Structure 1
């Protein structure tokens, strides 16, 4: 990447990310009575507007941008944290941003707080029907969608849904590397699989990762393997998925998850982001209570983001 780009290395460094992110121990009786330590990897504190896996995924993508591509073009659902992070990155770095949103019907409705924040940060929102969205990775569909925005695909830095690609997986390997020697098991919520792909690759031998999908469908294992193959040449690390804790699916919760999150906050004074972080912690806590971890083990939960501000944005 050339140094004259607005997202060049100097500009990225000027955002002053907090790396490595803090590692905090919590005394939780559900873990302690089974002889386990619980630690939180506070990736939510990396940057106030680009927290957690969003920084780790976006930074290497921005760093790989080709000269002249000053528009970030990406994809997400109506409540996508990735869209919000990309819009914020564009504002902070002086880049134009376009967000392709799943759901043509949303174009005629008031913007929800998440999309309103994207628009306030300067992101142009393009709403497409769900059939088109499913085919967004096909070259002819991508060309048609970028043309709708008045752009050519070659003029944009196209970042996939969730920011997950080979560059993002390599960026998230730093998360695993920061946890070498500090954990036996690391749990993380999974949307598109990029964070787990990199995390597992970065961990040392003898450590393992467990991913908790926040969507239904059972497709993530193949996707994580694909990302690892593209980024590292093949499957890397000891990892598996536990798909019991999606809480009803993407951007959804259920009474059990809500009760868990409220109880966790009451115990520890830490509000939990509900769509990802609470699902991962719920999964790890359940596994601990099921006896899935041997006594003496250290369990780390990755806190990938913070709950929305009281204003909703």
Structure 2
């Protein structure tokens, strides 16, 4: 890691020590540059947004995808890390990578994924416990902990600043808040620097997590137009906030509406509020 990337990574580590900050999720260099220009001090990637930009489905239950005829559609590790690296090199703020489940069940595979992510120049990354299997939606508790421990060892072996985030999808698969707390704390104890709990979107749930967790908490907002804003999340004690694939989905909705207008009406009103060529050129030339 060059000195500039190290400084960015060190800054990213410091952001997790106090306060509350927002890092929105980019899916390509263009979206990352737009977000950087808006003034954000750090960015994250979204595996969903990357998948959509490649015309592929997002990581979901594998059997459901196979039944829909898209079983081979998941973006592979090499492709995902290639895009992550492009984003990290394309901006001058630290980037945290969405590493899904580490692209393999075995702890050693997770370690390889984290090491490969570090080599792209990112300053952090999250590893989740979602399996993609309906009969076993989460990796077993002990295995999930070992996976985080292996990721931590990979980070420590690399010797560079890096924020490892342990993500538990307990709430997304219908599990209890108690189990969520148990897993998140186990991941923190195994070496995660921050816990990520998607599905926690109301003040009561988030407040409980902040009180019960032994480390900083990441929540994801914007998935359903959540009522809570940054002021409320800061007051609750949340350390960092991401928005997942919500910006990408909002962009694709605009694309779908434009396509429908062209195909069904043959009109062009979608273009009335477009950015000008000059505006975009100016933004991307910076």
Structure 1 and Structure 2 fold alike (TM over 0.5): no
Question: How does the TM-score come out when normalised to structure 2?
Answer: 0.29
